[in-house]
Each structure stands twice: as structure tokens, then as C-alpha cells.
Amino acid sequence: MLKNGFKNYLTEAIDRIVRKVLTEMANNNLKMNEFERDIKSFGFVFRNGGTGSGRVYSIKDKNGGTQSVTVHYHPATKNVKADSVRHVFNTLRNIGWFEDAENFRRFPFSKWGFSPKNVYVDTTDDDISRANQKYKNATVRPIFPMKNSICTLENGEKVNLCRSTNDRRPLLDVWFDLYEYDEETHTIPCLKHYNYQDSIIICFPIRKDGTLDVENRFIER
């Protein structure tokens, strides 16, 4: 048991080392001239400072303060040192630069040797704003007689679901032909899809959480 435990520990340790080496190799491949173009586009400004193979850059944080980084490169290859690349990336993350969705979208993750998973960005407000603008002329109606009810989102041709008039993001990947109650009991709110080939209507009951009860879908003719 002890041998197996040690083996697992050793395997995990080796995996961590390999991942670190691969990351450093990726970070080490960035040329200084490309790196400098990138960081200037991020908002960094070159300052007189560093000596030899070191240069100092500064950037304003969201509170109006200044954050400085010293960037070192390999004189022979003109590649930026991995530690400097990570330092700049971490500085951007720490000052909240990635919280701007546009910054997040334009950051060259692949070229810099990072994964977007290294950064968490909440783009909810941005997504809501875009959806509200895109569907500003859509009709939004609550479905259930309860506070904060899920709503229908009707754009004149098709219908989807959304959370409210203030959050018009479509909840479903597919748009449907019609929103109605079932024909038999007139109590089940459904999204309906016309199947013209078989002359049937496929009905999907709507749950209160905004999902469809696909397992209990039924047919109307």
C-alpha cells in the first residue's frame, strides 16, 4: 500500500514538473519585438529604467495607481524570459484588466503560452447588454404566476425563453414555432414545433426553471 501511495505521489510530482516545463517553454518562445508591441496595445508605457537586458514598463490600474514591471530578455535570441512574460500576465490579471470582456477577447493567449482557463472573467453584464439590444423589439411575457417567472421571448417569427425584460438572453439553443398551452387540458405551457412533413406538432412542456421537459414531450395533430 505504501509503495502504491509513493508511486502515485511520484507520478503526480512528475506530471506537475512536466506541465511547468512545457509552460516555461511556451513562455520562452515570445520575441521581444512582438512582446513589446503587445504590451503597448494593452496599455503599458515604456519607462526609462532597467539596465542591460532589462526594460521597465508601467500601466495604470483601475484605481488610477501605477503598476510597474521589469522585463528581461535573452540578448542572444531576443526572446523574452519566461518569468517576465508571466509577471506581465499576472499584473494584468491582478489589476483587473481581463475583467473588460473586450480585453479578454483580444488577448493573444496562444502566442503568449497561456490558456484562457488561467483567467476567470464574468461577462454576464456584457452578454445581457448585447442580448437586450439585439432583442429590444421582441415581446417578453411571463409564463408562470410567480415572482421572477421565466418569460417567453418572441421575435415575431419564432419563440424562445428568457429570464425577464431586463435579461433577454435566450435560454435555449433552439427557437420554436409557437408558445401555447396544451390542447387537452389547457394547463401545461409548452413550446411547440411544427413538423410539416408528418403534419404533427411536437410539444415540449416548460419547466419553471426555464428548461424543457423533453422526456414528457407529446404530439398534437
Q: Is the pLDDT of residue 191 over 80?
A: yes
Identify the weakest region by mean pLDDT among 28-37, 118-127, 181-190: 118-127
Q: Are residues 9 and 117 in the same domain?
A: yes
Asked if residue 127 belongs to a domain, the reply is no
As a dihedral over the C-alpha atoms of residue 21, residue 23, residue 29, residue 33, rounded to 10 degrees, the angle is: -140
Asked if residue 132 belongs to a domain, the reply is no
Asked if residue 209 belongs to a domain, the reply is yes
Q: Are residues 66 and 92 in the same domain?
A: yes
151 DSSP β-pair partners: 142, 162
Q: Are residues 33 and 80 in the same domain?
A: yes
Q: Are residues 46 and 113 in the same domain?
A: yes
> For the residues 61-69, what does the mean pLDDT come to?
87
Asked if residue 180 belongs to a domain, the reply is yes
> For the residues 107-123, what does the mean pLDDT come to?
79
The structural domain count of the chain equals 2
Cell of 206: 416548460
Which phi and psi angles does 19 have, rounded to 5°? -60, -40
Dist. CA 152–CA 210, nearest whole Å: 10
Higher pLDDT, residue 115 or 9: 115
Q: Are residues 145 and 39 in the same domain?
A: no
The domain of 164 spans 137-220
Which phi and psi angles does 73 have, rounded to 5°? -135, 160
Q: Which residues contact 32 (CB under 8 A, 6 or more apart)?
A: 73, 78, 79, 80
Q: Are residues 172 and 212 in the same domain?
A: yes
DSSP string, 92-123: HHHTTGGGSHHHHHHS-HHHHT--GGG-----
Q: Are residues 116 and 167 in the same domain?
A: no
**pTM for the full predicted model:** 0.51
Asked if residue 130 belongs to a domain, the reply is no
Asked if residue 38 belongs to a domain, the reply is yes
